[in-house]
Amino acid sequence: MIPYGKQLISAADIEAVTDVLQSDYLTQGAQVPAFENAIAQQCDAQFAVAVNSATSALHIACLALGLKQGDWVWTSPNTFVATANCARYCGAEVDFVDIDPQTYNLSVDALTEKLVLAETTGKLPKIVIPVHFAGQPCDMKAIHALSQRYGFAIIEDAAHAIGAQYQDQAVGNCQYSDITVFSFHPVKIITTAEGGVATTNQPGLAEKMQLFRSHGVTREPHLMQDCPSVDEERGAWFYQQVDLGFNYRMTELQAALGLSQLTRLDAFIEKRHQLAQTYHQALKGCPLILPFQAEGNRSSYHLFPIQVMSESISRHQLFDRLRANGLGVNVHYIPVHTQPYYQQQGFRVGDFPVAEAYYQKAISIPLHQGMTIADQTTVIEAIKESLI
Ligand SMILES: *Cc1c(COP(=O)(O)O)cnc(C)c1O
């Protein structure tokens, strides 16, 4: 099968992981800080906090920004459920903003309209989470301008977008956001098996995320609180739990794999662009809508989502035929508000019509750095034959 996305593991990756296995530290050693430094450098951000998944990163990002019961988080319905769930973990309410029909990202026009209305009802969001869908950066400048006007924080969900550029700057530099979150699940651009990272330029947010990642426990004297203790003196053993945190730590094995993978990020993105360009050329003229690329940005091409506009074959039929041909096509995304859990929160089919219409036509076709020219020819021929 040719999957829609897959990791590419080298001999150097394997060596990096086995070296850690033979070392003294499987967790809490030098690899995680080294990986964090490398990600911060890659993204041109001041701080990076590595955790065991992007889902955990989203959770601690919300906690660091003080999200709590009664607050609202707004995001795109065209995303993985984790983007919305992080708000629910904090007891906050979720609402969605419909997508732009061209980029499939959260629509700035829809966001503007919704903010105007929310101001009158007193239900402005505390956090907005734009998602760089398929690796295509959102219009961050416009969203940031709205955040200044309406006073919300911004977490970029860049699970798809490590290596992408927004206006010639690395996604993750947090120029127009408070925190950016990346995923290193194997289908994403680079992998740590499971894993994620949050970048920020704000020392206070980095400190809080570090606390929440590890039980709310600190050994830093400046983070400790004055409270009665049984000790007259505090020895080197001393730590304090100053908040309620979790164990969301990344292991040394994961960080070593990530460090090794990161050295090939540029090559991976370049390969994805070559594959995307070939798809654009080969599928031009077919009854399909191919992904739009905004000028001035560089997508990481995590996905290559097409919309099936044929009158002779439906999306469902094409999907089944491609699967029968051994192609691991997929659909991104079932709109989050239509999931039973979110229907229980009061959302209904029809609430976000642009995301729903896009979903009904969408197929993600195979695109990953391990694909050969022969693999891609197989995909192109299978699609073209099915569309005749
Ligand atoms: C994969 C993904 C996540 C969750 O990432 P994990 O590392 O699997 O927790 C969140 N948001 C988006 C948009 C994703 O694609």
Residue 161: pLDDT band (50, 70, 90) is: very high
Residue in 52, 160, 183 to alter for ligand 1 test, most ligand atoms within 8 A of Cβ: 183
Average pLDDT over residues 47-68: 98
Judged against a pLDDT cut of 80, whether residue 325 lies above it is answered with yes
Judged against a pLDDT cut of 80, whether residue 231 lies above it is answered with no
pLDDT in tens, 263-296: 999 999 999 999 999 999 999 999 999 999 888 9
pLDDT value at position 349? 98
Average pLDDT over residues 54-65: 98
pLDDT in tens, 252-261: 999 999 999 9
Residue in 55, 86, 248 to alter for ligand 1 test, most ligand atoms within 8 A of Cβ: 55
Determine the residue type at 123.
Answer: K
pLDDT value at position 41? 98
Q: How far apart are CA 86 and CA 48, in angstroms?
A: 19
Does the CB atom of residue 80 touch ligand 1 within 6 A?
yes
Does the CB atom of residue 83 touch ligand 1 within 6 A?
yes
pLDDT value at position 310? 97
Average pLDDT over residues 97-111: 98
pLDDT value at position 234? 82
The first and second tokens of residue 146, run together, are 């709205």
Judged against a pLDDT cut of 90, whether residue 227 lies above it is answered with no
Query: Would you state the torsion angle of the CA atoms of residues 235, 236, 242, 243, taken in this order, to the nearest 10 degrees?
Result: -150
pLDDT value at position 293? 87
pLDDT value at position 283? 98
Mean pLDDT over the full length of the chain: 97
- Angle formed at CA 123 by CA 119 and CA 128, multiple of 5 degrees: 95
Average pLDDT over residues 352-366: 98
pLDDT in tens, 25-38: 999 999 999 999 99
Determine the residue type at 364.
Answer: S
Residue 232: pLDDT band (50, 70, 90) is: confident
Residue 358: pLDDT band (50, 70, 90) is: very high
Give the ranges where the chain is alpha helix by DSSP (H): 11-21, 31-43, 54-64, 82-89, 108-121, 140-150, 203-213, 252-262, 265-283, 315-324, 340-344, 353-361, 373-387
The first and second tokens of residue 267, run together, are 């090559």
Does the CB atom of residue 20 touch ligand 1 within 6 A?
no
Q: Which atom of ligand 1 is nearest to the CA of 82?
A: 10
In this structure, the number of other CB atoms found within 10 A of the CB of residue 256 comes to 26
Judged against a pLDDT cut of 80, whether residue 58 lies above it is answered with yes
Judged against a pLDDT cut of 90, whether residue 107 lies above it is answered with yes
pLDDT value at position 13? 98
3-class SS string, 16-61: HHHHHHCCCCCCCCCHHHHHHHHHHHHHCCCEEEEECCHHHHHHHH
Pairing of strands 217-218, 240-241: antiparallel
pLDDT in tens, 126-158: 999 999 999 999 999 999 999 999 999 999 999
Average pLDDT over residues 351-377: 98
**CA of 88 relative to ligand 1 center, distance in Å:** 16
Does the CB atom of residue 160 touch ligand 1 within 6 A?
yes
Of 103, 110, 121, the C-alpha closest to 74 is 110
Q: What is 57-102 written as a DSSP string? A: HHHHHHHHTT--TT-EEEE-SSS-THHHHHHHHTT-EEEE-PBPTT
DSSP at 231 = -
Does the CB atom of residue 78 touch ligand 1 within 6 A?
no
The first and second tokens of residue 315, run together, are 């999306």
**CA of 196 relative to ligand 1 center, distance in Å:** 9
Whole-number percent of the chain with pLDDT over 70 = 100
Q: How far apart are CA 145 and CA 345, in angstroms?
A: 30
pLDDT value at position 257? 98
